[in-house]
Amino acid sequence: MSRFRDEILEQPEVAARLIEKSRAAIDAFGARYRKVRPRGFVIAARGSSDHAALYAKYLFGRRNRALVSLAAPSLFTRYASPPRLEGQCVIGISQSGASPDVIAVIEEAVRQGAMTIAITNDPGSKLASAADLILPLDAGKEQSVPASKTYTASLFALALMSQAIDGDDEFAAALDRVPASMAGALKAEGDLDRLVPALAGPRAIVLGRGFNFSTAEEVALKLTETSYLLARAWSVADFEHGPIAVVEPGFPVLLVGGGGSVAGDLESIATRLVEYGCRVIGIFDCAATPRGIESVAVYNSGLPEELTPLTLAVLGQLLAYHVALARGADPDQPRALRKITRTW
């Protein structure tokens, strides 16, 4: 059995538990936010958590009309020249709560008097103790080196925070459907086998846009670290500004889409890549998918586009697991990687 796959399967339960157990922390965050009224957000993270921060950039920007900046931790550490953080809500995201550079950003934010919150799976960690507020993920110990349940728990925690800032009955109802929707995505695992041959290696491109640009980044990372496939993610818009020149007949491209406002962009790029002879495949959470591509795995959860990164992350993780097996790699313990990476 694979620990990585086991932890992927735990995600609906983790999401349900987070709804129940995070209420006090979410209420405390909402109350503090309304009192302080920060001008925007600065988010510090590394690895998969950095992709959660990218998700927050779109989520808080769209739902809460807030400007989000992703911190450059080396400014706080190697360069010792931290930017001014007064009036910002500074968020540190780290599954272990032990990343020294993320901790350094939160500590500096506290020194400058900014509002701070730690999103972590270890409420006893140094990151948690450094921040004003803590939002524990309660995901249980994650033993596999590649993040799965802590990644989606971080996304869900950010979505709950967005709702705490600007409550909306329809979005609240959608949040309550997330655990069941993630369980539904797990049932689509059998459809992923048809995508695996296109990802035989040694390289691939993963494309998304908007809320699922973060998902494209995370799926590319999972493919790289679990099966050693050199996968690179781009936003569809950025991809068309230059990187598209790399494609050629037979080049594998994985599309990640959740419908909504950017659906037409994925349809357009799919048509163009098929014309170039690329092997275009996709994972989608929406009713309509691009036509003419080689193969797709689809689960239509009915969630708003803002929440489809949760279901699509599940499909992407399972896809990475199956690609790793096909390439003879151990997804639980990728070479040269450790669970906690202590960069500064």
- Residues marked active site are found at 339
Separation between Cα atoms, residue 323 and residue 193, nearest integer Å: 9
Look-up of token digits 């020194």: 111
Nearest to 336 by CA among 152, 199, 146: 146
Buried b (16+ CB within 10 A) or exposed e, 220-229: bbbbbbbbbb
Nearest to 191 by CA among 311, 317, 315, 10: 315
Using only the alpha carbons of the chain, give its radius of gyration.
19
Separation between Cα atoms, residue 7 and residue 18, nearest integer Å: 15
Buried b (16+ CB within 10 A) or exposed e, 10-21: bbbebbbbbeee
The secondary structure of 52-70 as a DSSP string is: HHHHHHHHHHHHS--EEEE
343 C-beta neighbours (distance < 10 Å), count: 13
Length of the chain: 344
Nearest to 10 by CA among 138, 176, 97: 138
Helix (H) or strand (E) holding 206: strand 203-208
- Interstrand relation of 115-120 and 133-136 (parallel, antiparallel or unpaired): parallel
